[in-house]
């Protein structure tokens, strides 16, 4: 290397990012593994709790609101492939639900 291009070595206050670390002692490895396992279990628990809250909110919306009832009825009409028709709905699935002019016509059944 030419003398003019050589860069002076700098000392950093911390080791490089990918520096090799000394191997832990036998007892320390098990303790660190336990901490890592607890950390993973904590994140799994948090993810499960968030999922449970989302499912509860979805069920509340579906069963407790008029828009949830309309959504469920629209899915039922779509699943019936045009054989079911409902003119008007009001209410919730969990409470009093009023359906107006409900018709089910199946040409295959006669």
* pLDDT at res. 10: 63
* pLDDT at res. 93: 93
The CA distances from residue 48 to 36, 52, 60, in Å, are 18, 6, 18
CA–CA distance, 62 with 93 (Å, rounded to integer): 7
Helices (H), the chain: 26-64, 66-79
* pLDDT at res. 110: 61
Are the C-beta atoms of residues 73 and 91 closer than 8 Å to each other?
A: no
CA–CA distance, 51 with 55 (Å, rounded to integer): 6
DSSP character at residue 25: P
The residues near 71 (Cβ < 8 Å, ≥ 6 apart) are 62
Which stretches of the chain drop beneath a pLDDT of 70? Answer: 1-19, 22-32, 110
* pLDDT at res. 48: 98
CA–CA distance, 68 with 65 (Å, rounded to integer): 5
């Amino acid at each position: 290397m030419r003398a003019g291009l050589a860069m002076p070595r700098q000392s950093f206050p911390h080791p490089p990012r990918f520096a090799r670390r000394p191997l832990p002692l036998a007892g320390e490895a098990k303790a660190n593994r336990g901490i890592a396992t607890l950390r993973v279990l904590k994140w799994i628990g948090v993810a499960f709790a968030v999922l449970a809250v989302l499912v509860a909110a979805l069920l509340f919306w579906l069963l407790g609101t008029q828009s949830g009832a309309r959504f469920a009825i629209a899915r039922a009409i779509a699943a019936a492939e045009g054989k079911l028709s409902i003119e008007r709905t009001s209410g919730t699935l969990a409470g009093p639900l009023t359906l107006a002019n409900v018709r089910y016509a199946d040409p295959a059944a006669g």
